[in-house]
Amino acid sequence: MSTPRTTTAPNPKIIIGVVVGALVLAAIAVFATADGGDDDVSSGDPDAPLEYGVVTASGTALPGLPDSGDDPAVGTLAPSIVSERVDGQTRLEPGPGGEPTMVVFLAHWCPHCQAEVPRLVELDQAGVFDDIRVVNVLTATTPERDNYPPSAWLDREGMPGDRLFDDAESTVASNYGLSGLPFLVFLDADGQVVQRVSGEQPAGVIEDAVDAITG
Amino acid sequence: MSPETPSRIADVLGVLAIAGALGAAVIVAGSVVPWLRRRVVDPLAGSATTLALGVAVVATSGSLWFSEAAGFPPCELCWYQRIAMYPLVAVLAVAVWRRERSSLIIAQVLAGAGLVVNAWHLFIETFPDSSGGSCDPTNPCTLRWVEGLDFWTIPRLATVCFVLVLVLTAIDRRHSQGAPT
């Protein structure tokens, strides 16, 4: 029978020395950073008003966008949304007699949304959105995360369109079946879903979708 | 809790991580530099597993604090790394108590698996575009909750912990005595 291999006995002096060294380093770090301010990159402006809306949704919620295959939401009427804030309200009320609409779901902290917005701004400057309404839904808003507040971000970028603030529970996003960010929903003049896409999109895809809802 | 508290905690952990990274580098260098091996690495023999246990305890405590006290929910890759890190506390405690070499092998397998997942987490955290074209709307792995000393994100702290556990347990494995298991 073999004897299990064992490790050599520990040296208490070394263990105590390392622990004391770690505690001293930690203490120095605590004192050194005591007045160092908040270096947290994910923090936003703590004094900014929370950018949520009080959301009222009506109509039938759209199913989630599947990863592949046909989108079951195509051809169905999109739900109506009213988002109220102290400074007013934004209404998204798809229905007959309306106008073609591109609904853009964005999160301020999402790097793919940050990459998509300049592309949308370029398309707007090229006149692609002249004949449609653009509604930017600011969703998944989290003050503790990077690039907060989202309205200041869109101001900086010069993003066109109305702004609709989602609530903390992402009610608007869940009503439109959001699966990833950014998320674009194209509605025709009757308020029916023509196309939904998730993730960054090349300009050509967006132009084709706009043609489809205005054509 | 002050809004700055998580950032301060990350700063403190960042200082410890710098010390840990330097220590790990010295130990690795000691495998090729005889002088370093004699003066720094060999004296750690027998104590290295206890130090690795300390690293695992600090890592587990820090992970739980960030999720339960600071309110930073773990992303999917964080959960996989937790699966590797949390059992290390028990495995290394047994290794310290029983002084058995076999426990160190289990610890190294766990730490190695955690380090592999951690490497991918570091990559997508540094290059978020590589994680695909869209963000998880709830809790993406690319999100940096804190950045202690403007560098130490939670995955970077985890890297140091996994590497330290690996190199410290390697010292005691090499100095184990008795018949092979």
How does pLDDT run across B80-115, given as a tens digit for each residue?
999 999 999 999 999 999 888 889 999 999 999 999
Q: Which of A25, A140, A145 sits opposite B19 (nearest CB)?
A: A25
Percent with pLDDT over 90 in chain B: 69
Establish whether the linkage from the previous residue to A66 is cis, with ω within 30° of 0.
Answer: no
The ipTM assigned to this model is: 0.75
Tell me the chain A residues in contact with residue B8 when contact means C-beta distances shorter than 8 Å.
Answer: 30, 33-34
In chain B, residues 36-55 whose CB comes closer than 8 Å to chain A: 43-47, 49-51, 54
Q: Which residue of A has its CA nearest to B14?
A: A29
* Residue A112 C-alpha, separation from nearest chain B C-alpha, in angstroms: 6
Half-sphere exposure of A60 (CA within 13 A, CB side): 10
Q: What's the pLDDT at A28?
A: 86
What pLDDT, in 10s, does the model give residues A120-176?
A: 999 999 999 999 999 999 999 988 788 999 999 999 999 999 999 999 999 999 999
Q: Are B100 and A5 a contacting pair at CB < 8 A? A: yes
Distance CA B138, CA A145 (A): 12
Q: What's the pLDDT at A38?
A: 45
Least confident range of A11-20, B25-34, B64-73: A11-20
Name which residue leads in pLDDT, B54 or A215.
B54
Q: Which residue of B has its CA nearest to A140?
A: B137
Across all residues in chain A, what is the average pLDDT?
Answer: 89
Distances (CA, A) of A191 to A198, A213, B6, B179: 19, 10, 46, 77
Distance CA A69, CA B13 (A): 47
Mean pLDDT of B138-163: 91
Longest Cα–Cα distance of chain B, Å, equals 55
Q: What's the pLDDT at A197?
A: 96
Residue with tokens 């964080």: B78
Say yes or no to pLDDT of B68 above 90.
yes
B83 in contact with A, Cβ within 8 Å? no
What pLDDT, in 10s, does the model give residues B111-142?
A: 999 999 999 999 988 887 776 788 888 788 88
In chain A, residues 47-106 whose CB comes closer than 8 Å to chain B: none
Percent with pLDDT over 90 in chain A: 66
Tell me the chain A residues in contact with residue B180 when contact means C-beta distances shorter than 8 Å.
Answer: 2, 5
Q: What's the pLDDT at A37?
A: 46
Say which residues have a Cβ less than 8 Å from residue B7's Cβ, sequence separation at least 6: A38, A39, A40, A43, B146, B147, B148
Q: Which top CATH class is A54-214?
A: alpha beta
Distance CA B13, CA A160 (A): 43
Q: Are B43 and A109 a contacting pair at CB < 8 A? A: no
SS (H, E, C) chain B: CCCCHHHHHHHHHHHHHHHHHHHHHHHHHHCCCHHHHHHHHHHHCCCHHHHHHHHHHHHHHHHHHHHHHCCCCCCHHHHHHHHHHHHHHHHHHHHHHHCEHHHHHHHHHHHHHHHHHHHHHHHHHHCHHHHCCCECCCCCCCCCCCCECCCECHHHHHHHHHHHHHHHHHHHHHCCECCCC
Residue with tokens 């503790």: A144
Q: Are A26 and B129 a contacting pair at CB < 8 A? A: no
Mean pLDDT of A113-126: 96
Mean pLDDT of B13-24: 95
Say which residues have a Cβ less than 8 Å from residue A98's Cβ, sequence separation at least 6: A187, A189, A190, A191
Tell me the chain A residues in contact with residue B24 when contact means C-beta distances shorter than 8 Å.
Answer: none
Distance CA A104, CA B12 (A): 40
B6 in contact with A, Cβ within 8 Å? yes
The residue ranges of every structural domain in chain A are 54-214
